[in-house]
Structure 1
Amino acid sequence: MGGTRRSQRGLDWLNFFVADVQTGFGPFVAVYLASQAWTEVQIGFALSLGTLTAMLSQMPAGAIVDAARDKRRMAFLALVALAFSAVLLAAWPSTLPVYASEMLHGFASCVLNPSIAAISLALVGREALGERLGRNARFASLGGAIAAGLMGLVGTYLSPAAVFWMTAALTIPSLISLSRIRGEELRPVQATQMAGHGDARREGSIRDLLADRGILIFAGCAALFTLSNAAMLPLAGAAVTQRAGDEANLIIAACLVVPQLVVAAISPLVGRAAQQYGRRLVLIVGFSMLPVRGVLLAMVEEPAALIMVQALDGISAATLNVMLPLLAADLTRGTNRFNLCIGFFGLAVGIGGTISTTLGGAVAAWSSSADAFLMLGGIGLLCLILAWAAMPETRDQLPKDMALAQ
Structure 2
Amino acid sequence: MQRATVAGQSLIALATLNFFLADARDGLGPFLDAFLATHGWSPMSLGLIATFGGILGMVATPIFGALVDNTPYKRTLIVVPVLLVTTAALATLMRPDVAIVIGGQTITAIVGAVVGPALMGLTLGLVGETAFPHQVSRNEFWNHAGNVVSLIGVYVATTFYGVAGIVGLMIFTALGTLVAVACIDAKKIDHNVARGLGHDEGEPGPSGYSVLVKTPGLVLLAVILMVFHFGNAPMGRLIAQEFSIQLGTPFRTTALITGVAQLAMIGVAVAAPFMIRRFGLSTVILIGLIALPIRGLIAGTWHDFASIYPVQILDGVGAGLLGIATPVAVERLLSGSGRFNVGLAALMTIQGIGASFSNAVAGTLVTEGGYSLAYLVHGGIAIGAIALFLIWRHRIVPPAPERSAA
Matched, 1:404 2:401: no
User: Would the alpha carbon gap of residues 240 and 157 (structure 1) be closer, same or farther in structure 2, given more than 3 Å must change?
Assistant: farther
Pick from 179, 195, 202 the counterpart of residue 176 of structure 1. Answer: 179
1:133 corresponds, among 111, 136, 140, to 136
- Which amino acid counterpart does residue 305 of structure 1 have in structure 2? S
Q: Which stretch of structure 1 is more off in the superposition, 28-37 or 165-174?
A: 165-174
Q: How many corresponding residue pairs?
A: 403
Tell me the distance in 1 between the aligned counterparts of 2:311 and 2:160.
26
Choose the corresponding residue for 2:125, options 112, 119, 122: 122
Q: Structure 2, unaligned stretches of length 5 or more? A: none
Q: Which residue of 1 aligns with 2:364?
A: 362
Q: Which moved more, 1:122-131 or 1:68-77?
A: 68-77
1:320 has 2:348 as partner = no
Evaluate the alpha carbon distance shift between residue 81 and residue 24 of structure 1 in structure 2; reply closer, same or farther with a 3 A threshold: closer
Structure 1, unaligned runs of 5 or more:
none
Q: Is residue 220–residue 392 contact of structure 2 (8 Å, CA) maintained in 1?
A: yes
Alpha-carbon RMSD: 2.1
* 1:335-346 → structure 2 map (5 Å cutoff): 335-346=337-348
CA distance in 2, matches of 1:238, 1:82: 22
Check conservation: 2:34, 2:241, Cα contact below 8 A: yes
CA distance in 2, matches of 1:79, 1:121: 21
Percentage identity across paired residues of the two chains: 22
Are the equivalent residues in 1 in contact too, given 2:20–2:146 (CA < 8 A)? yes
The C-alpha deviation readout for 1:198-230, integer Å capped at 9, x for no partner, is 488465531231332210111012211211111
Tell me the amino acid that sits aligned with residue 285 of structure 1.
Answer: I
Which of the numbers 29, 42, 47 marks the counterpart of 2:45?
42
Matches within 5 A, 1:212-291: 212-246=215-249, 248-291=250-293
How far residue 156 of structure 1 moved from its aligned partner, in angstroms, is 4.9
Q: Secondary structure of the equivalent of 1:288?
A: helix
Whether the 8 Å CA contact 1:227–1:353 is kept in 2: the answer is yes
**Inter-partner Cα distance in structure 2 for 1:340 and 1:273:** 27
| Partner residue, 1:16 | 19
**Which stretch has the larger CA shift, 138-147 or 259-268?**
259-268
**CA-CA distance at 1:24 after TM superposition:** 4.7
Amino acid paired to 1:237 = A
Q: CA deviation at 1:196?
A: 4.3
Structure 1 segments, 4+ long, off by >6 Å, are none
Query: Any conservation in 1 of the 2:38–2:245 contact (CA below 8 Å)?
Result: no
Matching residue of 2:153: 150
Using the alignment, how far apart are the partners of 1:331 and 1:197 within structure 2?
A: 17
Deviation per residue, 1:262-318 (Å, 9 max, x gap)? 111121321332244322111001110000000000012221222332111001111
Measure, in 1, the Cα distance between the counterparts of 2:296 and 2:199.
44
**The residue matched to 2:114 in structure 1 has which SS?**
helix
Q: SS at the partner of 1:71?
A: coil
Residue 27 of structure 1 corresponds to: 30
Q: Distance in 1 between matches of 2:93 and 2:212?
A: 40
The correspondence for 2:308, drawn from 306, 309, 315, is 306
CA distance in 1: counterparts of 2:56 and 2:78, whole angstroms: 18
Q: Using structure 2 for the length normalisation, give the TM-score.
A: 0.93
Measure the CA separation in 2 of the matches of 1:232 and 1:55. Answer: 19
